[in-house]
Amino acid sequence: MPMFEFKCEDCGHNFETLAKKDERVVCPKCNSDRTKKLLSKFGFSCGSSFKPSVGSSDCSGCSSTSCSPT
Ligand SMILES: [Zn+2]
């Protein structure tokens, strides 16, 4: 199950969590359900090995979800 990064629209807290599709995510800090999914992190889908902070030089084509591993 992929990790997603969320931002709470009430308190501005950023957090990562495992989330199913359409699952409501609650802010761990203030328990608000007004959380917004961020699409900035797709390092886990970039190739076969996990890279926490993928730079643009390493995988330039990884700006979308359709990054096929070789
Ligand atoms: Zn919050």
Tell me, in angstroms, the distance from the centre of ligand 1 to residue 28's CA.
7
pLDDT at 26: 95
Q: How far does the centroid of ligand 1 lie from the alpha carbon of residue 49, in Å?
A: 32
Strand ranges for the chain from DSSP E: 3-8, 14-18, 35-38
C-alpha to C-alpha distances, 19 to 24, 59, 60, 68, nearest whole angstrom: 8, 25, 26, 22
Please give the distance, rounded to the nearest whole angstrom, from the Cα atom of residue 56 to the centre of ligand 1: 30
Q: DSSP state, 21?
A: T
Q: Where do the structural domains in the chain lie, given as residue ranges?
A: 3-43
Tens of each residue's pLDDT in the chain, 70 residues: 678 899 999 999 999 998 887 788 999 999 999 999 987 555 555 444 555 555 545 555 556 656 666 6
Instruction: Please state whether the predicted TM-score (pTM) of the whole model is above 0.85.
Output: no
Taking domain 3-43, whether its CATH number is 3.30.750 is answered by no
